[in-house]
Structure 1
Amino acid sequence: MAPPQSDQPDAAAGSGAISKVLIVIAMQTEALPLVNKFKLVDAPPHESTFPKGAPWIRYHGNYKGLHIDLVWPGKDPVLGVDSVGTVSAALVTYASIQMLKPDLIINAGTAGGFKAKGASIGDVFLASDAAFHDRRIPIPVFDMYGIGARKTLETPNMLKELNLKVGKLSTGDSLDMTPHDETAILNNDATVKDMEGAAVAYVADMFSTPAIFVKAVTDIVDGEKPTAEEFLQNLVAVTAALDQAVTEVVDFISGKCISDL
């Protein structure tokens, strides 16, 4: 994702220190450990960033010279489960960019991984690319729009310093994988698979906001165990690995410009 163009020096243009970081997370289980780690506080109703009726949740605070806003889509008002998936992720990312004006977005979350691409349970990846695998539009040019492939922000210094793994990310709105999805994921050359990343990338790209994607593997998609069972079994432990990686990423970002990453 290319940084925005501006006549004034700023962090997004790479000539000023990053000061405002937006962390977008899909699930409460993934969010709360980071809220505690960064000592973030819930925004009170009179400071609400989001429209009335939206279930989205925002925490905020200061950490090592950075103002951090952490948002997640909240619970479904009817069913009470985490509002996972591309629609909720895109909406909360859009609203947060408009209201909070971040210098950098971190989309953090758990994901499925492919052992054929070298992924193991607990591995944490920085996504080099993001694309969709379940938007099938078999019409010329519309097919490319459906895939929506995008390069993410390049962070060579971060990768070297933190020794993180790198892989391509493929996004869809289902936890399981159909044969059609499998073919599309293979075509995307993906190492990890999630339900939000490419949607966040789409919105971030639309508004020229640099974004990075930190994904921790909870389940092996091409393994022997059922995906849902393995995901639930490993969620808490892998979330701890995710939160550790995000903390290291934020520590690295502190005091740096986009071009330093």
Structure 2
Amino acid sequence: MAGVEEVGTGAVGVPSSGNTISTVLVVIAMQAEAMPLVQTLQLTEEDEPSVFPKAVPWKKYSGTHEGLSVHIVVPGKDFHLGVDSVGTVPVSMLTYASIVSLHPDLIINAGTAGGFQSKGAAIGDVFVATHFANHDRRIPVPVFDEYGIGTLGATPIPNLVKALALKEGKMSTGNSLDMTPEDEEIIKANDATIKDMEGAAVAYVADLFTVPLIALKAVTDIVDGSKPTVEEFLENMSTAAAALSAMVPRVLKYVSGKKIADL
């Protein structure tokens, strides 16, 4: 796709201030991904009155951990069908409202993703994203094609990556669980190691508000493997959620008392 390498050279949310991290917002798309971590961190669901409008199904779980004020937010269930409100639109709205209401010093987008074994991904691996891009916003008009891809560099966290021995990879986001031939072409152009349904949307909002972002994604399915995606995703959801509930507390412990520049 033309122009992929020319855009997105700036990093998400590199702040001008050097404040110590005190409030962390954790954005998670699915309840099944969130609840093991909620329990691990011993967070409680927000009581009324909510910081969110009454009309929305969004959930917030809050508490303290490692001296940090931690808020986990999820888009909640679709009012009409009762399934998790996955995809870029619900999570971008949730991220926007959470930033405005909670004023986080750092956002962590935690969740599951497909991984490419050709890039070294295996089931249960937790990757930290180095770049964010889209693969289903196909706009074949000059410059708009680059806008559609929307590449952004992640907030630099070299010390954290080294300390926790995290795997790194570029992330490509789309609103479908499957992968069409057109998607595959753009994902390859994005040089993606992991494929998800929310990351680039969270990055877009975080970048608007200049809030640093760390994306942690646990691999549920091998995109370039032999198993059907849906079958593998459902089979490994609990494994991936457990990996996240183990990794996110380690990240919180590391960032506590530090500035973004220390990461």
Structure 1 and Structure 2 fold alike (TM over 0.5): yes
Paired residue for 1:37? Answer: 40
Q: How far is the alpha carbon of 1:238 from its aligned partner?
A: 1.5
Q: After TM superposition, list the pairs within 5 Å mapping 1:1-261 onto structure 2.
A: 1-5=12-16, 13=17, 15-46=18-49, 48-261=50-263
Whole-Å separation in 1 of the counterparts to 2:236 and 2:37: 18
Amino acid at match of 1:17: T
Q: Which runs of 5+ in 2 are unaligned?
A: 1-11
SS at match of 2:109: strand
Amino acid at match of 1:104: L
Whole-Å separation in 1 of the counterparts to 2:14 and 2:68: 19
Paired residue for 1:8? Answer: none
Q: How far is the alpha carbon of 1:3 from its aligned partner?
A: 2.2
Matched positions, count: 252
Q: What CA deviation, in whole Å up to 9, does each residue of 1:58-109 have, x standing for no partner? A: 1111111100011000001111111000001100000000110000000000
Paired residue for 2:9? Answer: none
Whole-Å separation in 2 of the counterparts to 1:4 and 1:260: 12
TM-score calculated relative to the size of structure 1: 0.95
**% identical equivalent positions:** 60
Q: How far is the alpha carbon of 1:255 from its aligned partner?
A: 1.1
Q: How far is the alpha carbon of 1:45 from its aligned partner?
A: 2.1
Cα contact 2:13–2:206 (8 A) shared by 1: no
Stretch deviating more after TM superposition (95-104 or 32-41): 32-41
TM-score calculated relative to the size of structure 2: 0.94
Whole-Å separation in 1 of the counterparts to 2:68 and 2:249: 12
